[in-house]
Structure 1
């Protein structure tokens, strides 16, 4: 279920369906970008809606999902094409996410997203 929700989130980001993205983000969201910049839910959605942050392509391969009660710890590899303040960037990063279900049996939502630059091929 987490993998399906993540696919919904990334597709909604690329297609600009930010109301769907908002529904997948917890109100307490902490979103750490690969640059180290950190946003909350309001700032993240604001940047998306203003167009100062736009995702053109997202390929997020989840390599581990560990569910503990109503919390899921997720790691993966992200490749994306992003437009930030008018400049296009190619991103390759390692990701960690914390998903939660606020109500028993409810939909999984993102509480924490953290992205770090992927290690170079030389250091792998």
Structure 2
């Protein structure tokens, strides 16, 4: 009986360690995405996102990977600052859901603005590396 319990404990710890490692990797990926968006780093944006990327804005506009990368790298959409708050990560096999609040100072078409949005990121492990597969931003209802 003791070997069975020991085996179950070891398996449980291994799963916890694996999940913890994936969670840490995802936290690093989200931070790298944040930095790449602020810097307009085309190569990093391509490396972090999947070719199948579906990128949704709070306005309802949808972009594919090429459109998303070009808009950020060209400076058409310029993130001057970006802070992420209240982040949660949920793992399910090779898929991860990351939710957070995003506050940022931006320049869209050169026009400065401040935004606060909710964001859902869907990451997928592809060839052993986490890639951004989908993103959807949404506006919070007005405070009453």
Q: Do Structure 1 and Structure 2 share a fold, with TM-score over 0.5?
A: yes
| CA distance, structure 1, for counterparts of residue 140 and residue 117 of structure 2 | 4
Larger strand proportion of the pair: 1
TM-score w.r.t. length of structure 1: 0.89
2:107 to 66, 83, 95: 83
Structure 2: gaps (5+ residues): 1-24
Tell me what 1:119 maps to: 141
Greater RCO (Cα-Cα under 8 Å, separation 6 or more): 1
Question: Which structure has the larger Rg?
Answer: 2
Larger helix proportion of the pair: 2
Structure 1: gaps (5+ residues): none
2:58 to 34, 40, 43: 34
Count of residue pairs the alignment pairs up: 120
Query: CA-atom RMSD, angstroms?
Result: 1.3
Tell me what 1:54 maps to: 78
TM-score w.r.t. length of structure 2: 0.78
| CA distance, structure 1, for counterparts of residue 85 and residue 133 of structure 2 | 19
